Structure 1
Amino acid sequence: MGETTRLLYNGLLSLNQTQLPAGQRIQNMELIRDSAQPVLQHLSRQFIARSLPLPPRGRKILRLLMRLHKETSTGYKLALRDASRGETLSPKLLALATHRALRHMGQIHLLAAQMYETEPAGMWHDIHLLYAFAEEHGLTSSVVKDSTYRHIRQSSIADVYLQSSLLALSLPTTLRQGEAERLAYFFERTASLVNIDARPLPDANDGVYLINLDLDRPPAYTTLSDVPSMSSLRGLAPEKLLLLLREQVQDNVSQTSAPTLTSDMARKLMLHLTQHAKRDFARADRDERIYVAIGLDTIHRAIQADPDRAGHGNSFKAVGLPERTRALDLQTISDHQRQANADPANYYDPNATSDDIWRLVVNDSMWERSVPDTPDDTGLNTPADPIPTSNPPQEWADWRLINASPGGYCICWEHPEPARAQVGEIIGLREREGANTFWRIGVIRWMRNVPEQGLVAGIQLLAARSYQITVHGAASSRQQPIGALDALLLPEVKALRQPGSLILPEGPFHSGDVVVITDGPNESHVRLQECLLQQNSSFAQFMIGTIDTELSSQTDNGFDALWSKL
């Protein structure tokens, strides 16, 4: 395959540098394009579920694949250039060349979206120019057959232009890996639901889907007040597409109807298409290093390995939960576990649904971790352990902090090895405030590969502090017993108007479940309320309500015995 790829690459370069009649050039390009498909498909498979950032070899392959698509598009664009200079081409050949050129530019856009790459300079300029050429020659509704599609076999020039435009409006940097490709396949079959208007018209929210054919910029959803009066402006009318998405969110689409997304994906796409992007807080530049842990299990291990982590016993007070001291009885060690010099870690049952004192021993002991933040016998606070900056725990990943605000962070991975970062994944960030160290919890909302810089990620903050606790399901006839699990208790974020919540592994618990949370010697019963997090995540975030509050509202108000006597 390597030799075939080399011959294809050199053949495209040679053909594009050769003077040929426009009609003959298109015929030659069609022959090369057919033979190029196995090569393009082989190279594309290199990027399925790849960790980011790409290693040097992977980046070279990505650049090669983009270059092959660009040279293929250029071959057809050269024929269109010659036709615009006076060479005669039939409308059918004009439409074919325009469609092919747009299709391969769209593949470059899709590759950039899949790999969170910055779009190549001039890409949108060329895409808009090709569509403007089609408009000028009355070709936008011309239908062209194309065997490279996944679900369709032909599309109009307007459709292939809209496929790229809609993917751009979907905000690819905020999509999880694999979602950009799924949306591209979805738009193959739904782009025809969207109209392109010469005059941008506002929607019910006073927003417009705007395209400027003169700029090297993607389409954008903006407010009507920001739209100047220019002949190069076009508007998109996606009402039919939005109606289809609403039906899919409500699961009202029949099994036999055309294209579908999962309800979660349809909901996310609707939000991206209909919400104006805005930042709630100004960000301050902060060029410094920060330790990060990605993934819920890794965050738990990272916090446990932190010598400066906050002591236990204060989490309920910070979140405003009632607490009571746990009633722990003396527990015996079974005969088969009792042995000389036995490790206490072997004594406790990780699936236990009741209080187990050995779990406290395993979790660094409540007596050690719940030391209150009060002066010691000498009248001085015990100094924190030194930060292991020279040899940090393996769960701590070293990132560069670019900027920060009360609502989030922008961080950059500058190392050659994969970062394990994914859009939608939970992330912990270790920061100091004076003498104290806190693990702030957030979600990766977008990623972008920036050349010569690294993998840049935008973090939405869920809480400025977090408390590592233990959760197990309360005894109930409705739910199966669930063993003790590590969890994160997040206090209220007043600046974000966000209530206190609980971060749990995705799956075991659901809204309405009653759970017991323990922190050192303290425990509290809470009910899981609304799940705040999207589907397809490795964790779940629940709002919580106290059972004590629920019970107090249901107690006898003193009037129950009176009603029958009135």
Structure 2
Amino acid sequence: MSLLLFDLAEVNRDQLTSCELKLAALESWLKNLPLAHPEGSCQALSQFLEEFNQLKFLPLRRLEWLNLIQPLVHQVTQGLDTGSHFEQEGDLAQNLQNLLAQGYKRVVNDLLKLRDQLPPPILARSLLQALYNALKESSALILRSCLLSVNAPANTWQELNLLYHLACQSRLQHKNLTTNSPKNCEEAYFQVVLLALIQAETLRSDEVTLVYPLLAEAAALLNRLAEDNPNQLFIISAEHQYIPQRSGLDAQNAKPTPPQKNTHPKGRGLSLDTRILIDALNTHLAKSQLSKRLSQHLAACLGEANDRITPRIETNDPIELVLGLRSVHFHMNNKRPLESLVAGGNLNEKPKDNPFITASQDDPWSAAFDAGENTSNGHIQLVEMQTNLSTSLDEELNKRHPIYSLTQVNASATGYCIFWQGEEVPLLKTGELVAFREAVSDPWQAGLIRWVKDVQQGLQMGIERLGGRMQPCAVKPIIKIGEQRDFMPGFLIPELQVLGIPAGLITPLLPFREGQKVEISYSQGVEKAKLFKLVSSPGAFNQFELEPLGVKGLSLH
């Protein structure tokens, strides 16, 4: 049994299968890891750490070994995080990082068991290292969940809070271990706490990556209060499994948290006041390396709950806009047709209704090429014909899904006011789905037209951001009797289990309805789900909360 109720493996091993219990043997084994192949290295390190966490080992030696292993784990998980198979590689990285975090928590556990037998300087120094690394590795699990929408262990927040509580009890929370942020246990804990409070589920992954290092520096500006302090803006409590959230949330707006048996001692809750942090953020807004919109997003999320009107910044910056669900789907799917998302579909398949594609058997150059008559002249003409077809196809698709170059009137944390000059188009109406980007190098983000009004020489429209994590998919209703439906364009909204955010789905208005079962085809395969709850229907599309029906569930990346 674990003294501190960490979720740790039972210690029952005397040896390791990978190497002898000598430091030189470990160093030799680590040098031979196939680091050029992250998956192979991950498998080897995971097996090693599983055994190591069950090994009967003194805590000081365990800490020394873990500190040697840690850089290799970081190198391997970084390689997995940038791989092409996000679901599989993200889960592998989570498992490996969790095993490393468990190793450091084992050191914390065992050091406190021996606290009366170790000299105080050695105990304090070793405990500080173990607490800091356990906090950092556990925080990385939540960060990866926000970046890749993979799962983190259900007890991650509880154990993070317990680690910070132990650091405070030992008066080690402010002891610096490095000159880089996070410098100490307090910064390491509140860095990930702030990540949970800034609505990371609404941000793009690159925005989360940009903001996260700055949150460690911002931790010093947080005012920590007692759990029942009336000045609290946010609270961390056992009632909500220590998941940070805004205080005073009503039942409708509160993030759902799965009921769990709370086995941890009470008295570890605390409250946060972010007013000083917000003042600093607003003061340095012009000097910030963040965009104005992202800075405002942070201010809106961390500010007082009753301040719902976010400040607007006057601007005439350019912005590109795409109108309508099908066009938004096309551009957010990297200009690939819907068929590319249907199971078994070819990613390079041309749209079936494209007028420029003809049967290959009617093409003499294609027939000659297939028969082996690859003369120099014939090959050149074939290439020219394919190039012309490709160019014609691109021109046709660009006409069907135009990009409009417009100008911003003002911007805020929640969206934009945009000026439309020129001829109106039918899709320019309230409730329509749109995609926008401020620069060609930026990824497309989804939005919703909230209002349209006439102004001098044109129109103005209000665009509300819908978050940066929507993933294009193909969806169709499951019909047992009657004519089957074809796949239609839709968007998956990732589940963030560690923050209590359920999965969602955006569909066309018809034929989808609440309670219906659907088949979803996307980059990770085909899954079935139930349209559990209609969240909103602003006019041109529906947004549902999803309930996965398969054993695997919906892993969205």
TM-score (norm 1): 0.48
Decide which structure has greater strand share: 1
TM-score (norm 2): 0.49
